[in-house]
Amino acid sequence: MIFFNKPYLTGKETQYIFDAVKSGKISGNGDFTQKCNMYFEDRYGFKKCLLTSSCTDALEMCALLLDIKPGDEVIVPSYTFVSTANAFILRGANIIFADSSEINPNIDENKIVELITSKTKAIVVVHYAGIACNMDKIMQIAEKHNLFVIEDAAQAIDSYYSGKPLGSIGHLSAFSFHETKNIISGEGGMLVVNDDRFIKRAEIIWEKGTNRAAFWRGEIDKYGWVDVGSSFLPSEIVAAFLYAQIEEMDKIQTKRQKIWIEYYKGLVALEQKGYFKLPFIPDFATNNGHMFYVVCKNEDERDNLIKYLKENGVYAVFHYQSLHKSPFYENRYKGKELKNCDFYSDCLLRLPFYFELEIDEINTICKLISKFYNAK
Ligand SMILES: *Cc1c(COP(=O)(O)O)cnc(C)c1O
């Protein structure tokens, strides 16, 4: 059996959790949380990092920080996880769904302008599979129309756009440490604030609408309720787990990139024969080894390939039903057909991808795929 995902443990997680428990401080914003936040700020030059309980939480913080109100419009790609849209729906926003590009599942930067109206507040981009969107173009559009940009960088840790770390370009960004991502803490995430205007308020919203973080730093002599907020910060137990992962991040990334290249080498000949498409990485983007996928010709072929792999002990999965066609949204959707998004939704297939995946397992998977196509 080759599973689709297997969370990797460095071995230090339980030690650090034990240390956190022993320290007597296991609620949020303790030593481990601060060490994680500082690590990401130092390594990637993010202005302010705040660990959250999930990327979903970080996205909800973005919606609060931007003061999204009923009637505001937010442009969101339809090919993404539900939280990218839900975070703004919760504040009453109208989601304006954007199509994917033809070259890869990222938002098509050439189809954003036509979606902008006087009610538009923000553009949310998703760096699908950790591959950067065309950020120069998107930031130019945002600047021209006075909009905020949020990077849903859930899959994009340690990946770059023209030398800039993903998550450092938009006004706000959100990362995920869910067990299916590169660096994990079970459930977990992080808000990144790149625009100074949001830094102080982000910390308050994070701490349930209080100025407790400033109080702990000794900046004020009592803390209280100063704004809206919620409990977005994770416990020290989660942060301790994450810190163990961070310490081995380079090792994890190197291995994951090796897995990606092995898949590519094993499948590129079949792509050249025209059986399917492999991920496309633009020149401005790096590859952080988050996932490997193939794009089949049609839904039937994709579903048959999943079935064939499963019969042979390999669990491959598809994902992202176009959000504009989801049971929750389809009756509300008033926009155009989103052809590329629907295509990826029908045809994209994700292959097993995790740190401990062995090279011969990858070879087995590639051979199975080859057999599937040659038998047709
Ligand atoms: C995983 C993921 C999320 C959600 O992350 P959580 O940490 O599970 O909340 C959001 N957006 C994208 C693009 C994701 O891949």
- pLDDT, tens only, 121-163: 999 999 999 999 999 999 999 999 999 999 999 999 999 999 9
Distance between first and last Cα of the chain = 24
Strands 48-52 and 189-193 come out as antiparallel
Give the mean model confidence (pLDDT) for residues 67-90. Answer: 98
Task: Tell the residue nearest (CA) to atom 1 of ligand 1.
Answer: 154
Cα–Cα distance measured from residue 104 to residue 129, given in angstroms and rounded to the nearest whole number: 10
Q: What is the pLDDT of residue 69?
A: 98
Q: What percent of the chain has pLDDT over 70?
A: 100
For the segment 242-267, what is each residue's pLDDT rounded down to a tens digit? 999 999 999 999 999 999 999 999 99
DSSP 11: S
Mean pLDDT to the nearest integer, 2-19? 97
Question: Is it the case that residue 169 has pLDDT exceeding 90?
Answer: yes
At 181, list the tokens.
Answer: 């991502």
pLDDT at position 374, please?
87
Question: Of all helices (H) and strands (E), which one includes residue 51?
Answer: strand 48-52
Distance 55 CA to ligand 1 centre (A): 5
Measured in angstroms, how far is the CA atom of residue 176 from the centroid of ligand 1?
Answer: 6
Tokens of 304: 């048959």
Per-residue pLDDT at 341: 98
| Domain residue limits, the chain | 13-246, 249-374
CATH of 249-374, one of 3.30.360.10, 3.90.1150.10, 3.40.50.300, 1.10.3720.10: 3.90.1150.10
pLDDT of residue 258: 98
Q: Is 188 a residue whose pLDDT tops 90?
A: yes
Q: How far apart are CA 248 and CA 270, in angstroms?
A: 34
Q: Calculate the CA 48 to chain-centre distance.
A: 18
What's the gap in Å between 4 CA and the centre of ligand 1?
17
Long-range contacts of 197-201 (CB under 8 A, 24+ apart): 198/65, 198/171, 198/172, 199/47, 199/48, 201/65, 201/227
Residue 226 has pLDDT above 80, yes or no: yes
Number of other CB atoms surrounding residue 146 within 10 Å: 8
| CB-CB contact of 173 with 150 (8 Å) | yes
Above 90 in pLDDT, residue 173? yes
The CA-CA-CA angle for residues 114, 116, 117, to 5°, reads: 120
174 vs 62: CA distance, rounded Å: 8
pLDDT at 23 over 70: yes
Residues near ligand 1 with C-beta < 6 Å? 54-56, 80-81, 83-84, 126, 152, 154-155, 176, 178, 189
Distance from C-alpha of 195 to C-alpha of 17, rounded to nearest angstrom: 33
SS percent in the chain: helix, strand, coil, step 5: 40, 15, 45
CA 310 from chain centre, in angstroms, equals: 27
Distance 224 CA to ligand 1 centre (A): 32
Average pLDDT for residues 339-355, to the nearest whole number?
98
Average pLDDT, the chain: 97
Min mean pLDDT across 98-112, 123-137, 206-220 is at 206-220
pLDDT of residue 375: 72
Q: Tell me, which fold does domain 13-246 have in CATH? A: Aspartate Aminotransferase; domain 2 (3.40.640)
- CA–CA dist 135, 38 (Å, integer): 25
Question: How high is the pLDDT of residue 376?
Answer: 63
